[in-house]
């Protein structure tokens, strides 16, 4: 089975827009997706990226225009400026990693954590929000939270972030197939073709 490394930030609106199509692509192409949450601010610091809040007004405005173009095309609706926008995503990332370490599938969990921020006006830096997401998915939230507090989860989070930079990743979402980086949910068609080739 082909392996696809998927590096994403749990604050990424674009990762949410690509989540369903990635899952469908993986199923259709029989691909194993390795979900790897990263500290995107660290990635930016090491690759020359600029956090959204520090970008020019023109760039911030264009992001909103692009989101509004994509939402109807994908049949999705998100709040482009949610109440709890881009909080500290480290706990959410370790929570997802904990689910993985405990042997649970994380595709839907990743999507629902993203949706909590961008669709449901929730603060994903809060443990109760993450526990609520897990409960809705039938996952053992308390056990996951306990595992997320262990050094192993933090080490894995750091490892994924280092891996991303080494692989050439500089933004979220990024999909890496056999060393080739596809940056952005708008590159999923190219990824699909590469997998089919």
Instruction: Please state the CATH superfamily assignment of the domain spanning residues 2-196 in this structure.
Output: Glutaredoxin (3.40.30.10)
- Other C-beta atoms closer than 10 Å to the C-beta of 135 total 12
What residues contact residue 174 under an 8 Å CB cut-off, 6+ apart?
6, 7, 8, 164, 167, 181, 182, 183, 184
For residue 194, pLDDT over 90 is answered with: yes
- Could you tell me the two tokens for 180? 């080739």
Domain range annotation of the chain? 2-196
What residues contact residue 117 under an 8 Å CB cut-off, 6+ apart?
10, 11, 82, 84, 85, 87, 123, 124
- Please indicate whether residue 12 is annotated as part of the active site: yes
pLDDT at 197: 85
Q: Which of 118, 91, 103, 117 is nearest to 37 (CA)?
A: 91
Please pick, among 12, 93, 172, 174, the residue that the annotation labels catalytic: 12
pLDDT, one tens digit per residue, over 138-192 is 999 999 999 999 999 999 999 999 999 999 999 999 999 999 999 999 999 999 9
Sign of CA dihedral 89, 124, 71, 75: positive
pLDDT at 70: 98
Q: For residues 16 and 115, is the Cβ–Cβ distance under 8 A?
A: yes
**173 cis-preceded (ω within 30 degrees of 0):** yes
pLDDT at 36: 99
User: Whose structure tokens read 């053992």?
Assistant: 140
pLDDT, one tens digit per residue, over 89-122 is 999 999 999 999 999 999 999 999 999 999 999 9
Say what the pTM is: 0.97
pLDDT, one tens digit per residue, over 22-77 is 999 999 999 999 999 999 999 999 999 999 999 999 999 999 999 999 999 999 99
């Amino acid at each position: 089975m082909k392996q696809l490394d998927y590096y994403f930030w749990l604050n990424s609106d674009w990762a949410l827009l690509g989540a369903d199509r990635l899952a469908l692509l993986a199923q259709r192409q029989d691909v194993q997706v390795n979900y790897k949450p990263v500290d995107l601010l660290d990635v930016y610091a090491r690759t020359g990226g600029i956090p959204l809040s520090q970008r020019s007004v023109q760039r911030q405005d264009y992001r909103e225009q692009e989101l509004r173009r994509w939402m109807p095309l994908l049949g999705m609706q998100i709040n482009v400026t949610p109440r709890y926008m881009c909080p500290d995503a480290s706990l959410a990332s370790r929570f997802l990693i904990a689910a993985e370490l405990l042997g649970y599938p994380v595709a839907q969990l990743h999507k629902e954590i993203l949706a909590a921020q961008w669709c449901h006006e929730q603060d994903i830096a809060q443990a109760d929000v993450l526990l609520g997401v897990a409960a809705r998915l039938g996952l053992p939230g308390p056990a996951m939270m306990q595992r997320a507090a262990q050094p192993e989860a933090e080490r894995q989070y750091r490892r994924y972030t280092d891996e991303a930079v080494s692989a050439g990743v500089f933004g979220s979402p990024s999909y890496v197939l056999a060393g080739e980086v596809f940056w952005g949910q708008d590159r999923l068609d190219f990824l699909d073709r590469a997998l089919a080739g």
